[in-house]
Amino acid sequence: MTALLEVEDLRVAYGKIEAVKGISFSVEAGQVVTLIGTNGAGKTTTLRTLSGLLKPASGKVVFDGKPLSGVPAHKIVALGLAHSPEGRHIFPRLTIAENLQLGAFLRKDKAGIERDIQRAYDLFPILGERRKQAAGTLSGGEQQMLAMGRALMSQPKLLMLDEPSMGLSPIMMQKIMATILELKSQGTTILLVEQNAQAALSLADQGHVMEVGNIVLSGSGQDLLHDESVRKAYLGED
Amino acid sequence: MNTLPQQLANGLFLGSMYGLIAIGYTMVYGIVQLINFAHGEIFMTGGFGALTVYLLLPDGISMWVALPAMLIGGALVAVLIAVGAERFAYRPLRGAPRLAPLITAIGLSLALQQAVFNWYHVDGDAKTARVFPQLPFGPLHIGSVTVQSGDIFLIIAAPLCMAILALFVRLSRTGRAMQATAQDPDTAQLMGIDTNRIIVVAFAIGGFFAAVAGVSYGLKYGSVSYDMGFIAGLKAFTAAVLGGIGNIYGAMLGGLVLGIAEAMATAYIANIPGMQQLGGGGWASVWAFVLLILVLLFRPQGLLGERVADRA
Indicate the residue type of B8: L
* pLDDT over 60 (residue B204): yes
C-alpha–C-alpha distance, residues A73 and A80, integer Å? 12
Q: Scanning every residue of chain B, which has its alpha carbon at the shortest distance from the alpha carbon of A47? A: B190
C-alpha–C-alpha distance, residues A172 and A169, integer Å? 5
pLDDT tens by residue, A45-93: 999 999 999 999 999 999 999 999 999 999 999 999 999 999 999 999 9
Q: From the list B176, B186, B311, which residue is nearest A53 (CB)? A: B186
Residue of A105, A107, A133, A143 to mutate, interface with B, max B Cβ within 10 Å = A105
C-alpha–C-alpha distance, residues A82 and B130, integer Å? 56
Indicate the residue type of A66: K
Least confident of A66-75, A191-200, B73-82, B122-131: B122-131
Q: How many CB pairs under 8 A join A and B?
A: 68
Residue of A102, A150, A159 to mutate, interface with B, max B Cβ within 10 Å = A102
C-alpha–C-alpha distance, residues A89 and B181, integer Å? 12
pLDDT at site A238: 57
What band does B256 get if pLDDT is binned at 50, 70 and 90? very high
Q: Do A98 and B190 touch (CB under 8 A)?
A: no
Question: Mean pLDDT across the stretch B239-259?
Answer: 94
Q: Scanning every residue of chain A, which has its alpha carbon at the shortest distance from the alpha carbon of B191? A: A103
Q: List CB contacts (< 8 A) between A74 and chain B.
A: 189, 191-195
Q: Are A234 and A34 in contact (CB under 8 A)?
A: no
Q: Are B257 and B22 in contact (CB under 8 A)?
A: no
Q: Are A132 and A37 in contact (CB under 8 A)?
A: no
Q: Are B221 and B44 in contact (CB under 8 A)?
A: no
In chain B, which among 178-217 make CB contacts under 8 A with chain A?
A: 179-180, 183-184, 186-195
Q: How far is B193 from chain A (nearest CA, A)?
A: 5
Residues of A with CB under 8 A from a CB of B: 51-53, 72-75, 77-78, 82-83, 85, 89, 91-94, 98, 101-103, 105-106, 136, 150-151, 154
B65 lies within 8 A of chain A by CB:
no
- Smallest Cα–Cα separation from B78: which of B55, B59, B51? B51
* pLDDT over 90 (residue A202): yes
* pLDDT over 90 (residue A237): no
Our CA angle for B252, B258, B261, nearest 5°, is: 140
C-alpha–C-alpha distance, residues A145 and A179, integer Å? 9
Average pLDDT, chain A: 94
C-alpha–C-alpha distance, residues B27 and A63, integer Å? 36
C-alpha–C-alpha distance, residues A93 and B218, integer Å? 38
Question: Mean pLDDT across the stretch A141-157?
Answer: 96
Q: From the list B183, B186, B188, which residue is nearest A92 (CB)? A: B183
| CA dihedral of A64, A69, A74, A76, whole degrees rounded to 10 | 10
Q: From the list A53, A77, A136, which residue is nearest B191 (CB)? A: A77
Q: Are B18 and B255 in contact (CB under 8 A)?
A: yes
What band does B307 get if pLDDT is binned at 50, 70 and 90? low
pLDDT at site B274: 77
Helix (H, G, I), strand (E, B) or coil at A45: helix
- Smallest Cα–Cα separation from B25: which of B180, B248, B194? B248
Note whether ipTM > 0.85 here.
yes
**φ, ψ (nearest 5 deg) of residue B141:** -115, 115
Q: Are B177 and B193 in contact (CB under 8 A)?
A: yes
Q: From the list B180, B192, B194, which residue is nearest A91 (CB)? A: B180
- Taken in order B218, B222, B228, B231, is the CA torsion positive or negative? negative
What band does B2 get if pLDDT is binned at 50, 70 and 90? low
pLDDT at site A230: 87
Question: Mean pLDDT across the stretch A85-112?
Answer: 96
Residue of B170, B179, B184, B187 to mutate, interface with A, max A Cβ within 10 Å = B187
C-alpha–C-alpha distance, residues A189 and B270, integer Å? 74
* pLDDT over 60 (residue B48): yes
C-alpha–C-alpha distance, residues B19 and B201, integer Å? 19
Q: Do A93 and B310 touch (CB under 8 A)?
A: yes
Sorted by sequence, the CB contacts under 8 Å of residue B121 that are 6+ apart come out as none
3-state secondary structure chain B: CCCHHHHHHHHHHHHHHHHHHHHHHHHHHHHHCCCCCCHHHHHHHHHHHHHHHHHHCCCCCCHHHHHHHHHHHHHHHHHHHHHHHHHHHHHHHCCCCCHHHHHHHHHHHHHHHHHHHHHCCCCCCCCCEEECCCCCCCCEEECCEEECHHHHHHHHHHHHHHHHHHHHHHHCHHHHHHHHHHHCHHHHHHCCCCHHHHHHHHHHHHHHHHHHHHHHHHHHHCEEECCHHHHHHHHHHHHHHHHCCCCHHHHHHHHHHHHHHHHHHHHHHHHCCCCHHHCCHHHHHHHHHHHHHHHHHHCCCCCCCCCHHHHC
C-alpha–C-alpha distance, residues B93 and B96, integer Å? 5
